[in-house]
Structure 1
Amino acid sequence: MCASFAITGYPREVGAGWLEPLLTYPGHLDLSLHIEPIPPMVAVQRLRRQLARLESSSRSDAQAGRLTDFAAEAAADDAAELSAALARGHGKLFRVGLYLTVHAPDQDTLDGEVQQVRALAASLLLDAQPTTFRALQGWVTTLPLGTDPLRLRRTFDTSALAASFPFVSPDLAAPVGDTAVLYGLNLSSSGVVVWDRFAQDNHNSVTIARSGAGKSYFTKLELLRLLYQGVEVAVVDPEDEYRRLCEAVGGTRLPLGAEGECFNPFDLPAAHGQDALTRRALFCQTLVSTMIGEPLASDARAALDRAVVAAYAAKGITADPRTWKRPAPLLADLVAQLHEDSGSEAVELAGRLEPYVSGSYRSLFAGPTTTKPDGHLIVFSLRDLPDEVKSVGVLLALDAIWRRVANPNDRRKRLVVVDEAWLLMKEAEGAKFLYRLAKSARKHWAGLAVVTQDAADLLSSELGQAVVSNAATQVLLRQSPQAIQAVADAFNLSDGEKAFLLSADRGEGLLCGGTAGDRAAFYSEASPAEHNLVTTNPAELAELEASGLENDEADPL
C-alpha cells in the first residue's frame, strides 16, 4: 500500500543538503524532484509583473491606512533580488515539483508512516498535501519515468536548486568487490555500512580509539567476516585477546613464551626458493643482534655466518634444495659451532647467547617448532613472553608472517592484524616491519590492519604518519579530549565529527576512506554468535564461562 503527497509550501530560504532528512528517512519513502527550466525572457517578464503586483498592493494598503503586509514586502524584496540577479546573468529560474510516496505493508502501518513523514516535512517548513483525488497520478509522478501528471510546481532560483543537487547522502559510494564486509549500521540513514578493503587503492587500514571504545571488538568482527570470504589472516596479539576466536574457527595459535611452546628460527620455509637458505642465514644475523641487544661487529658477523652454515651442514642441509626437508638445526647447534670456531669473536658471541640455550631464556628455543604457523587464521600470542625476550619473540612472529605474505608461490588475499600497535612500535624490528608492510603489502595482495589506542604516538612519528598515509581505510572510534585535536588535524575532521567522536558510545565510529573521501558514521553490529566470540567484556566472559559457552567447540560459521 502507498500514499502520495505533493509539496505545496516551501521555506523562504534553504541551505545545502536541505532534502537530506527526507532522503535518509528510515522507511520506504520515494522522493521525486521534477525540474523545468524557464526561458530567461519569460522569467524576466513574469518577475516584472509579480514585482509590479506586489508594489501596487503595498501602495494600496498604505493609501487606505491598512497595516503593513510583511509577507508581501518580503516577497517584493525577493522578486527585486531575483530580477537583479537575472539582469546580471548570475542565475536562472526553474519550475520545480517535489513529490513523496510512502509505502507500507498494511493500512495501519501506512497511517503511522504517513504521520511521521508529514511531521518530518513540517519540521522542514514543507507543506505536504495528500493527492487524495489523484492518487494514481501521484504514484506515477514518483516513479522513475520522468513524467509529472500533477504539475504542482514552485519557482526556484539557481542557488536554491543547487542546494538540492546532488542529493546529500551519508551512505558510502566506494567500490565493493567480492570480499565486502558488513561494518555495521549507518547512524545517519536506514542503510548499512558495507566496506571492501581489497577494492580500495590499497588494502591497509588504521583503527584509532581510546581504551574501551570497542576497537578490538570491531577488528575481530571484521576479521571473522573476512574469514567467511576466504581471506587468510595473521594476527599479532599482545594481550591474548584472539584465543577464543582462534579456537572457534579452527585457527592456529602460537602462544610464544608459554610452557612447552618452542619456535625454531632455523626452520626453512615450506615453499622453497632458490635462495631460501641464504635468506635464513641473513635473518639469523638480525636475530642474534636482537638477542644481544646491539649490532654485530664485522668480525662477529663473519664468525656467525660461518657458524650458521656449519650448523646447517652438520644436519646434512646444503645449498641443494633436496636436503632442505631434513630437520633444521637448533640454536644450541649454532652455539656449539661458535664454540668450535677458533676466533675470539665467536667464543665471545657464544657466551652472550648462552642464556638463550641453557639459561633463563631457553624455553622458546629449547627444541623444534611445536606449532607450525600455518592455516587460514594464525595468531601469535605475545602475552606470556617476558619483557627481556619480547623483542626476540616479536621478531620471530613478524618474520614468520612476512615469509607467508611475500611467498611468490602462494598468492592469495591476506590480512595482517597488529593489535595494540603502540606496543610493537616500541621494538625496533617491529617498527621496521610495520613500515615495510605498510609500504609494500598491496604488491603481495595483502593488507595491514593497525589497531592502536595511543593516537598521539602514532601520529607524531614518521612511522605512524607513513602507516596512516598508506591506509585507504581509516576507522575512528571514540577519542579522548587530549588526543582529539591531533586526530582532527591528521584526518581533517570537521567540528561536528570531532564532537561525534568525543561523545560516541562504545561501538560507534567514523569510517573514512575511498578515492572520493567517503565518510560514514556507523554502529558496529554483531550477531549473538559473533558477539560471544569477539567480546572482551570481563563480566560477559565470566557469564560465558559460568554457562559453559566459553569453550564451546561449535562452529560459528
Structure 2
Amino acid sequence: MVGYNEHNKSLVIIDRFNTNIYKNANMCILGTSGAGKSYLVKLLALRHRYLGISQMIIDPDREYARVCNALGGTLFKVGPSSTTFINIMEIRESSFEEEDSNDDENVSNRGFLAAKINKLHTFFSLIFLDITPTEKAYLDEKLVACYAKKGITFDDNSLYDDSLTEKISIKRRFRFAQQMPILGDLYELLKEDQKTEKLASQLRPYVDGSLKFFNNYTNINLDNKFTVADIHDLDDEQLAIGMFVIMDIFWDKIKEDRSQKKIIYMDELWRLIGSTGNSRAANFVYKIFKTIRKYGGAGTAITQDVSDFFALENGKYGKAIVNNSKLKFILQLEEEDVKILKNILNLSEEEEVKVQTFERGTGLFYAGKNHVAVKVEASPREHELITTDRRDLEMLKKKKLEQKKAQEEATAGVIA
C-alpha cells in the first residue's frame, strides 16, 4: 500500500514486482526539499521489508538509521572516521553480468578482469577529471600489472584459489577479499613511472591522505536483508565517488541470486548522472536500471534537484532512467522543475498546477500508463519509526522517558 487516492479516498496498492502488469519494478521519486521524499521512501522500505524483500539504501543525509535499527538491519559508514571499508579494486565472483556457465572448465571465458578494469576506468574518471587518452592507456597498463602482481590475469582460472578448495567440494573457491590488490598497490606502480607520476599525485590522498579509507580491504557483510550505507561524512566533492563505490558492491550483491527480490535505493542520484557526474558514471547507473529486472531487482532513484538530475548531456541519462521506471512519484516541485518535467511526463496544465501546490506527503503517482494524486499514509507505529519532524521526535523522546520512569517505579515497588 502506498496511500489513498486523493480523488475518491480509495486505497492505492501496488505490487511493483508483478511482471504481468509492469515491465520493470523501477521507481523514480522526485520532490523539493521538505515535500516528503524521505518519509515516503522509509515507509515503502518498511512495508517491503514486511514482505521479506531485500533492500539496500545509499544514505547521504543520515536519515535511515532509526528505521534500520528498528528492523535489525545492517548500517555501515563510509568516511574519514569509519571502520568499515569497501575495496573498489576487489573482483567479486558475482560481478559477472552475462549468463554464467556452470561448467568450471569454461570459467576462463568469462572475462572478470577485463570487466573490472572497465569499471575501474569509470571510478577513476571521477578522480582524474582531466585525464588524457594517452594517460588512460598508461593507467590501463598499470592496472593490468597491478593485478598480475597478485597473480590475477585475464585467465579467470587465476581468480580461483584451488588451495582453498576442499577435496570433497565440487565448487571451486573464489579468492578472498584480502587476496585482492588495493589502491595503494596501484599507487606504487604509478609513482614509479614518470609517465604516470601525475596520476599518482592525484591518487595519493586516497592512499595515505585524508581519503585513505578508500585504501583498504572490504570488511562489510551484505547478507542482512536491510542494509544502509551512510555516506553523510563525505564532502560534496567525494560524494559521487563514495556513491559509485557503494553502488558497485550493491550491484554485485544484487546479481548473486536471481530468484530473490531486492531493491536498491539511490538517494540524491543526480550526483552521478547529473551536473557533478560524467557520462561513464551515468551510463553505469543507467545500465543498472536497464538490466536489474533480470536479476530479480528494482532500482529506486530519489532526488530533490530536478534540474541537476537532467543536466548532463541535455538530460540524456535522467530521461533514460525516468523512462526505464514504470513507477514514478512526483511530490511538490518548484515551477522551474515542473517546466523541465512537463514534456518528459506529458503533464497536463491541471497536473502542472497540482504538482506545484501539493501538500507535504501528497504527490502524483504513476503506475504504468495510469497516474493519480495520492496521499501517503502511515500507521501510528510506522510514523514513529520514520518521522523526522522535530515536534514528533520531542514527543517520542518524552514518551520514552515516561515509560522508563514508569518501569523504574514498578521495579522499585516489586523490590520493596
In the other structure, the counterpart of 2:90 is 267
Question: Which amino acid counterpart does residue 223 of structure 1 have in structure 2?
Answer: A
Structure 1 residues 345 and 482 mapped into 2: Cα distance closer, same or farther (>3 Å)?
closer
Question: Which amino acid counterpart does residue 198 of structure 1 have in structure 2?
Answer: F
Q: TM-score, normalised by structure 2?
A: 0.77
Please state if 1:496 is matched with 2:345. Answer: no
Deviations 1:402-449 (A, max 9, x none): 212334x54322212112222333222542232212222223222221
Partner Cα distance (1:520, 1:381) in 2: 33
Partner Cα distance (1:374, 1:363) in 2: 22
In the other structure, the counterpart of 1:176 is none
Task: For 1:177-216, list aligned pairs within 5 A.
Answer: 182-199=1-18, 200-216=22-38
Structure 1 residues 509 and 499 mapped into 2: Cα distance closer, same or farther (>3 Å)?
same
| Unpaired segments ≥5 residues, structure 1 | 1-181, 553-557
Please state if 1:445 is matched with 2:293. Answer: no
In the other structure, the counterpart of 1:535 is 387
Question: Which amino acid counterpart does residue 75 of structure 2 have in structure 1?
Answer: R
What's the CA shift for 1:544?
3.3
Task: For 1:329-478, list aligned pairs within 5 A.
Answer: 329-338=181-190, 343-345=193-195, 349-365=199-215, 367-407=216-256, 409-425=257-273, 426-428=276-278, 430-459=281-310, 461-478=315-332
Question: Which amino acid counterpart does residue 26 of structure 2 have in structure 1?
Answer: N
What's the CA shift for 1:320?
4.8
Question: Which amino acid counterpart does residue 218 of structure 1 have in structure 2?
Answer: L
Counterpart selection for 1:290 from 126, 129, 132: 126
Partner Cα distance (1:272, 1:209) in 2: 33
Partner Cα distance (1:311, 1:211) in 2: 47
Structure 1 residues 286 and 465 mapped into 2: Cα distance closer, same or farther (>3 Å)?
closer
Q: 1:441 touches 1:447 (CA, 8 Å); kept in 2?
A: yes
Counterpart selection for 2:367 from 513, 523, 526: 513
Q: 2:36 touches 2:361 (CA, 8 Å); kept in 1?
A: yes
Task: For 1:247-266, list aligned pairs within 5 A.
Answer: 247-261=69-83, 262-266=85-89
Structure index of larger Rg: 1
Q: 2:94 touches 2:253 (CA, 8 Å); kept in 1?
A: no
Q: 1:254 touches 1:381 (CA, 8 Å); kept in 2?
A: yes
Deviations 1:196-237 (A, max 9, x none): 222212211112222211111112111211111222212222
Please state if 1:218 is matched with 2:40. Answer: yes
Q: 1:281 touches 1:309 (CA, 8 Å); kept in 2?
A: no
Partner Cα distance (1:281, 1:484) in 2: 40
Deviations 1:139-182 (A, max 9, x none): xxxxxxxxxxxxxxxxxxxxxxxxxxxxxxxxxxxxxxxxxxx0
What's the CA shift for 1:318?
7.1
What's the CA shift for 1:257?
0.5
Question: Which amino acid counterpart does residue 526 of structure 1 have in structure 2?
Answer: A
Partner Cα distance (2:283, 2:302) in 1: 17
Q: 1:268 touches 1:280 (CA, 8 Å); kept in 2?
A: yes
Percent of aligned pairs with the same amino acid: 28
Q: 1:234 touches 1:415 (CA, 8 Å); kept in 2?
A: yes
Q: 2:95 touches 2:255 (CA, 8 Å); kept in 1?
A: no
Q: 1:475 touches 1:512 (CA, 8 Å); kept in 2?
A: yes
Task: For 1:479-490, list aligned pairs within 5 A.
Answer: 479-490=333-344
Partner Cα distance (2:260, 2:72) in 1: 19
Secondary structure at the aligned position of 2:35 is classed as: coil
Deviations 1:245-265 (A, max 9, x none): 122212222211141332222
Structure 1 residues 546 and 433 mapped into 2: Cα distance closer, same or farther (>3 Å)?
farther
Q: 1:373 touches 1:400 (CA, 8 Å); kept in 2?
A: no
Partner Cα distance (1:305, 1:536) in 2: 48
Q: TM-score, normalised by structure 1?
A: 0.59
Q: 2:80 touches 2:210 (CA, 8 Å); kept in 1?
A: no
Partner Cα distance (1:206, 1:260) in 2: 30
Partner Cα distance (1:236, 1:242) in 2: 9
Partner Cα distance (1:350, 1:484) in 2: 44
Where relative contact order (Cα < 8 A, 6+ residues apart) is larger, the structure is 2
Secondary structure at the aligned position of 1:369 is classed as: coil
Partner Cα distance (1:312, 1:254) in 2: 31
Structure 1 residues 527 and 353 mapped into 2: Cα distance closer, same or farther (>3 Å)?
same
Please state if 1:306 is matched with 2:145. Answer: yes
Deviations 1:471-522 (A, max 9, x none): 21121222223333433333223333333333322111221222xx222222
Structure 1 residues 479 and 249 mapped into 2: Cα distance closer, same or farther (>3 Å)?
same
Secondary structure at the aligned position of 1:291 is classed as: coil
CA RMSD across the alignment: 2.9
What is the total number of aligned residue pairs between the two structures?
A: 361
Question: Which amino acid counterpart does residue 242 of structure 2 have in structure 1?
Answer: G
Secondary structure at the aligned position of 1:207 is classed as: strand
Deviations 1:281-338 (A, max 9, x none): 444444344333344432332123212321456xxx9705125434233332333455
Q: 2:26 touches 2:300 (CA, 8 Å); kept in 1?
A: yes
Structure 1 residues 444 and 294 mapped into 2: Cα distance closer, same or farther (>3 Å)?
farther
Structure 1 residues 395 and 455 mapped into 2: Cα distance closer, same or farther (>3 Å)?
closer
Partner Cα distance (1:260, 1:186) in 2: 43
